[in-house]
Amino acid sequence: MNTNDLLLADLIKKASEIMKKLKRDEVNTLVPKSEQLIKFEDISLDYSRQLVDQKILTSLTKLDQIKNFKRKVRSLFSGKEMALHTFFRQGEVGFKDENTETWKQIEKQFLMVQELCEKLEKGEKTGWKNDRFENVIFLGLGGSMIPQKFVHKALKHKYRTSRLKFAFFSNPDGLDLSEYLISCNARTTFFVVQSKSFKTPEVFFLFDYARKWLHDHGCGTTSVFSQFLVVTSNPKSAKAKGFISDHIFEIPEKLGGRFSIWSAMGFSLALMAGKENFNSFRIGAKNMDQHFYKATVLQNLPIIMALISIWNRTFLNFPTQLVVSYSSALDNFVPYLQQLEMESLGKSINKEGVKVSYPTSGVIWGGSGFDAQHAYFQLLHQGTDIVPTTFIEVLEDGSETNNLPVSSYTEENIRAQADALAVGSPLNGFDGNRPSSILSINGISPYNLGALMALMEHKVFVQSVFWNLNCFDQPGVELGKRLLLSKTSNINEEI
């Protein structure tokens, strides 16, 4: 056997031994270890309650799957992968001179975004009756919308600088949209249609509903498109549909939808929080990029998080992973993660087109930790399946939250829950040995949120390298779209 086979065999043996101990309900298989803490700036990970140690992590990094990893990361940052999201982060890591034209296009796009934001905010961009806009409504779904909702919810309370009102809609039935429009004035309402492909039927249903609403409230056919902006990688189709060229922001085809918030797809953040905060958001991501590129493997936050997920999924064969947040600002974090990870890694075919022989992405689920504790945490403690859990906490001082008792309670509560899962109470039927991590963020800010999202993107990339998957495509999603389009082509033509 070669070295890689020996390492792999040893890891499989260790995983088997751990699972045998768990099945025998051996107490203290999982004992919190204080040294298992890793940090970058305002984000830290305590993984002392995971079923993993430094020897296992070191062995994982020596496998062939991680060899030449630096070269693959360089390939990501230099634009050789089917992805350009790092290019939009206020300067990526050391490859600017190699992509001059791409950089020129990016800078031009940000100037266009900023110019429109200023015109809408100052009332220089007006509706068909020259009224200044009061409402901005975003229409889209999937990667064009989920990250926007997450970021908007996280930052709107403390970092909103705009006088405008914002709303986001994805369901093509129009029920939520129609209810919201009751309180809107058509003359002062601006719509942003966000669709990378500009082929998604659901988006066209929403657009058609908005267009008819404008018509019903006096907007003429020739004026209606002045009330719309489009963000897409398919400007040709947008123009054919009638949208005004100056109201079309083009993003690159190589910029995946779920990675696109750093571009003009982040228009909602740029408009809501202003240029300075949008730039801070991108800088936070850029600095996480640099950490990912430069830090040693065992001090590298995205790599460690990825290796823990790989160990839990591929070696210990846990089918799901739970993410619970204890900050209402992060209420939309789980839907964001669900798309990012399961669309990127939910694949059984590798880059060579061969079916893999090992488990890949697990099912991500979760939500509010406070609700979860009084609902499905029962399953975590005594259920027949082990569910690795990530607790997300936001650390803020009393002056920032104005409620120090709640902050202290939350911090202690999370650790009590994590310890309960780890240690259990065997005499009372709680086996314990349920793995968990605590991801801590020192306050929600545009900078820290950018760093958090970049961290998750890089974690996914590491997992894709290990599993030899293309994390930048979504063939299953595209198959569903093609079948739908073949059955509804006549409907699409009508709208």
Catalytic positions: 343, 374, 481
- As a whole number of angstroms, the distance between CA 107 and CA 96 comes to 12
Residues 6 or more apart whose Cβ sits within 8 Å of residue 54: 36, 298
Please compute, for residue 75, the number of CA atoms within 13 A of its CA located in the half-sphere on the CB side.
Answer: 11
Q: 425: helix, coil or strand? A: strand
Rounded Cα gap, residues 353 and 14, in angstroms: 30
Phi, then psi, of 138 in degrees rounded to 5: -100, 130
CA distances 63 to 14, 146, 299, Å, are 15, 35, 18
**Which strands make up the sheet holding 37-40, listed edge to edge?**
37-40, 43-49, 436-441, 389-394, 320-325, 363-368
Q: Can you say whether the dihedral through the CA atoms of 383, 385, 390, 392 is positive or negative? A: negative
**C-alpha–C-alpha distance, residues 445 and 456, integer Å:** 17
Phi and psi at 192, nearest 5°, equal -120, 115
pLDDT at position 17: 86
CB-side neighbour CA atoms (13 Å) of 436:
26
Name the nearest CA neighbour of 365 among 321, 405, 326, 407.
321
- CB distance 12 to 56 below 8 Å: no
Structure tokens at 206: 């929403």
Residue type, 442: N
From the CA atom positions of the chain, what is the Rg in Å? 24
Distance, in Å, from the CA atom of 141 to the CA atom of 137, rounded to the nearest integer, reads 13
User: Pairing relation of β-strands 37-40 and 43-49?
Assistant: antiparallel
- In the chain, what are the domain boundaries? 23-82+295-478, 85-273
**What's the farthest any 2 CA atoms get from each other in the chain?**
77
List, in sequence order, every residue forming a beta bridge with 228; answer none if it has no partner: 191
> Of 402, 472, 421, 388, which is closest to residue 81 (Cα–Cα)?
472
For residue 486, the SS3 value is helix
- CA 69, CA 61: separation in Å to the nearest integer? 9
Tokens standing for residue 54: 């430094």
How many angstroms separate the CA atoms of 456 and 474, rounded? 18
DSSP string of 25-70, one letter each residue? T-TTSS---TT-EEEETTEEEEEEESS--HHHHHHHHHSGGGTTHH
Neighbours of 371 (CB within 10 A): 11
Residue 33's pLDDT is what?
A: 65
Same topology between domain 23-82+295-478 and domain 85-273: yes
pLDDT at 476: 73
- Taking only the tens place, the pLDDT of each residue in 393-436 is 999 754 455 556 778 888 899 999 999 998 887 777 777 889 99
Amino acid at residue number 456 = M
Question: What's the CATH number for 23-82+295-478?
Answer: 3.40.50.10490
Report the pLDDT value the prediction gives residue 399, as an integer from 0 to 100.
43
What letter does residue 135 receive in the DSSP assignment?
A: E
Q: In the chain, which residues have pLDDT < 50?
A: 92-93, 398-399, 494-495
Q: Model confidence over 55-83: pLDDT tens digits?
A: 899 999 988 888 778 888 888 888 777 78
Strand partners of residue 116: none
Q: Which residues contact 415 (CB under 8 A, 6 or more apart)?
A: 438
Q: What backbone phi and psi angles, to 5 degrees, belong to 199?
A: -130, 5
Nearest to 137 by CA among 206, 239, 235: 206
CATH number of 85-273: 3.40.50.10490
CA distance 134 to 120: 9
The predicted pLDDT at position 29 comes to 57
Write the CB contacts of 224 (distance below 8 Å, at least 6 apart in sequence): 128, 211, 214, 215
